[in-house]
Structure 1
């Protein structure tokens, strides 16, 4: 398992993250401090390992918010800095997933979940 400081260089440009379970927030933290964001990803990964054993994450990009659809009832959202370009967003997401050891599969956006996630990210 990666420690928070070990993934610090992988979350450059990430402002925050949250996890939804069946549409309800499990936890969230929107912060500009890179160290805290690293902790978010570390504990998200730990939570997922312990609770749903997800082997795949479905990745959707909407503007600068990356939405991850996990198997079953979990949705992970990541907020990316506005000054980060879209190519860096994809590289950042790719690095995070590589460090998590999770395979990526693209899938058409599920509108209902997408709306919930976007609303949650903009709150």
Structure 2
């Protein structure tokens, strides 16, 4: 509902998402981009410890990402450089301030943090062949721990842990339980 209205109302919108309390509520982004929303959630938590933010803007070479915050909601919009930003700001402000009118569906059944990675072959075959920094993450992969658990147990920064997991997922060494 929200996503369709946004695309109909504002030219240049490529995709968008809504987070409520850090959980994905709606999205029409490519599934490969959804992990970015988890990074945004962590960024929000870190920044909000020192000051309250209303908006984050990421300017890219081809597209921009605007993320708006209001209480427990965050709305992200991926758009081209030709998009009407004042109209977007107005639209999002009205949406977030009248959130009681927005009927959000239940959260997606699984966010990246809730996925349980596992190896497609024995762990003993995989670990000796990976770099030391990756081993510090992959040693926690046992088919039972969620990515959130692995992040908490690893001594590496969040970005590195996610990068290792996503890299080995793309190379088909790691898979997710369904």
> TM-score range, shorter-chain basis?
0.3 to 0.5
Compare relative contact order (CA 8 Å, sep 6+) and give the higher one, 1 or 2: 1
Q: Given the two structures, how large is their TM-score scaled by the length of structure 2?
A: 0.31
* Structure (1 or 2) with the greater strand fraction: 1
